[in-house]
Amino acid sequence: MKLIFEQSRPGTRCSLLPPCDVPKAGLPVALRKSPPRLPELAEVDLSRHYACLAKEAHGVNDGFYPLGSCTMKYNPRINEEAAALPGFTGLHPLQPIETVQGALEVLCTAEKLLCAITGMDRMTFQPAAGAHGEFTGLLLIKAWHRSRGDSARRKIIIPDAAHGTNPASATMAGYDVVSIPSNEKGCVDLDKLREAVGADTAGLMLTNPNTVGLFDENILEITKIVHDAGGLCYYDGANLNAVMGIARPGDMGFDVVHLNLHKTFSTPHGCGGPGSGPVGCREFLAPFLPGDQAVADGDGFTLERSTASIGQVKAFYGNFLVVVRALAYILTLGREGVPEAAENAVLNANYLMALLKDGYEMAFTEGVMHEFVMTLEGLKKESGVSAMDIAKGLLDHGIHPPTMYFPLIVHEALMVEPTETESRATLDEAAQVFLHLLDQARTDPAALHAAPVTTCVGRLDEVGAARNPRLRYAFPAE
Ligand SMILES: *Cc1c(COP(=O)(O)O)cnc(C)c1O
């Protein structure tokens, strides 16, 4: 497939601009010395180019997408209908308050419902992604310690099973990261945690169920150990799918939570954005929340900003239309539907695991929630076929691979999260494909080393892509 620049034919146009009804004003010459080298294409070719790109990607509408920790659930069309309402799409963030009452009501209602789901008191919708939420939440923790004159707390404790964004966000927020090893069950080792906490502990970041899909039964003890040491507890709720409507981070003892609306709450994961990573907190942290908060005011709604706010982390109110989609989702499911979705997510993961566990070695089988992790270490020793090979083989069967080589504590890991929106028939078919690949690993490993053969590109040089990314088009020398 050609790049759009390579398809460009000078003089071709597809823009139909209305006649200009204001005086023309060019850019200052100092800013632009030559015309921008934009590709020149007819509308039909432009349209085909993007349609072609879309076909070469695998989305949740193309097939099964069990990408562990990412919750690639179906995004219901009704969410899109709500977000496309002209009353929402035509808004300007600087409109007078009395003309945006509906939008403020959306923010207030979403805040109320998500606080009910998480057990938090307040919530901001500014952060644009999960990692951005982590960063924001850690700044709340930092602001609180600082407000009490406690500047000795420089460390954030993070279990080694954590999502990679946790240590990255803690570092971005100016903290030193203390990594603690997990126990043999993949959960927090209480003795190691007790050894790690102290007068320099700002807080703990934890995912529960954790990244191997297990619910940590010691959670109340864990949050108590951190609180007794004077630290706060941060809940990475990127993936709340196993517990939403059933168990609340607030009741587990957490002080700050972020959610990924683009995972649990069925809004699209659009190529890195726009997402939404709202941060909820307990009342004592609310004064530090970023930016303006929508609040009820008599019969209507208004905006409020605390003088202790950590400041803006994103323009205005975050990705507002993503919040509209998530609210549509929650209201569609309702009080009964939210926990039912969580139960089905857990059921689907356990069902698929049961279909696979005679063939594939599971890293953990007890208490598996919404996702499970298998280890292909044995298969690799026996046949030379790695987790990567099986993942690539799945592509030839129209299935997006599970998350690979994560969490780091499991070798040759494949982490499978089917989500609740897949039917039993889809899970049965997927299990057949997984088991077929296992046979193939033993009978014809060379075929799997060569996979994928049906996609537009085969094996990519992933290290090269990460180390030497080519992010701009190299125009031929003029
Ligand atoms: C996805 C995920 C994140 C990060 O979310 P982004 O929106 O990708 O920044 C953090 N923690 C966990 C457990 C996740 O699954």
Tens of pLDDT along the chain (478 residues) come to 899 999 999 999 888 888 989 998 877 777 877 888 899 999 999 999 999 998 888 889 999 999 999 999 999 999 999 999 999 999 999 999 999 999 999 999 999 999 999 999 999 999 999 999 999 999 999 999 999 999 999 999 999 989 999 999 999 999 999 999 998 888 999 999 999 999 999 999 999 998 888 899 999 999 999 999 999 999 999 999 999 999 999 999 999 999 999 999 999 986 555 899 999 999 999 999 999 999 999 999 999 999 999 999 999 999 999 999 999 999 999 999 999 999 999 999 999 999 999 999 999 988 899 999 999 999 999 999 999 999 999 999 999 999 999 888 899 999 999 999 999 999 999 999 999 999 999 999 999 999 999 998 899 998 999 999 988 888 887 6
CB 370 within 8 A of CB 209: yes
Nearest CA, atom 8, ligand 1: 130
Does ligand 1 have an atom closer than 6 angstroms to the CB of 323?
no
CA 373–ligand 1 middle distance (angstroms):
17
Distances (CA, A) of 124 to 29, 79, 127, 289, 403: 42, 21, 8, 7, 29
Nearest CA residue ID for atom 14, ligand 1: 238
In short, whether 236's Cβ falls inside 6 Å of ligand 1 is yes
pLDDT, residue 478, reads 61
Q: Name the residue ranges covered by the structural domains of the chain.
A: 8-17+36-55, 78-333, 337-465
| Paired tokens of 208 | 């529960």
Q: Is 169 in the pocket of ligand 1 (CB under 6 A)?
A: no
Tokens of 442: 């033993």
pLDDT at 409: 85
CA angle 297, 300, 302 (to 5 degrees): 55
Question: DSSP letters of 355-379?
Answer: HHTTTSPBS--TTB-S-EEEE-HHH
Q: Give yes or no for a cis peptide into 274 (omega within 30° of 0).
A: yes
Determine the Cα–Cα distance for residues 465 and 89; give it in Å rounded to an integer.
37
Cα(124) to centroid(ligand 1), Å: 17
Query: Where are any strands of DSSP class E within 264-324?
Result: 279-281, 293-297, 300-304
Task: List the CATH code of the domain at 78-333.
Answer: 3.40.640.10
| Ligand 1 contacts CB of residue 129 (under 6 A) | yes
φ, ψ of residue 295 to 5 degrees: the values are -140, 155
Question: How far, in Å, is the centroid of ligand 1 from the Cα of 473?
Answer: 30
Name the residue at shortest CA distance from atom 2 of ligand 1: 238
User: Does residue 131's CB lie within 6 angstroms of at least one atom of ligand 1?
Assistant: yes
218 C-alpha to ligand 1 centroid (Å): 23
Q: Could you tell me if 303 and 97 are in contact, meaning their C-beta atoms sit under 8 angstroms apart?
A: yes
Q: Locate the ligand 1 atom nearest the alpha carbon of residue 69 and give its number.
A: 15
Superfamily (CATH) of domain 337-465:
Aspartate Aminotransferase, domain 1 (3.90.1150.10)
Q: What is the pLDDT of residue 271?
A: 58
Nearest ligand 1 atom to alpha carbon 165: 10
Measured torsion, CA atoms of residues 240, 406, 372, 243, in degrees rounded to the nearest 10: -10
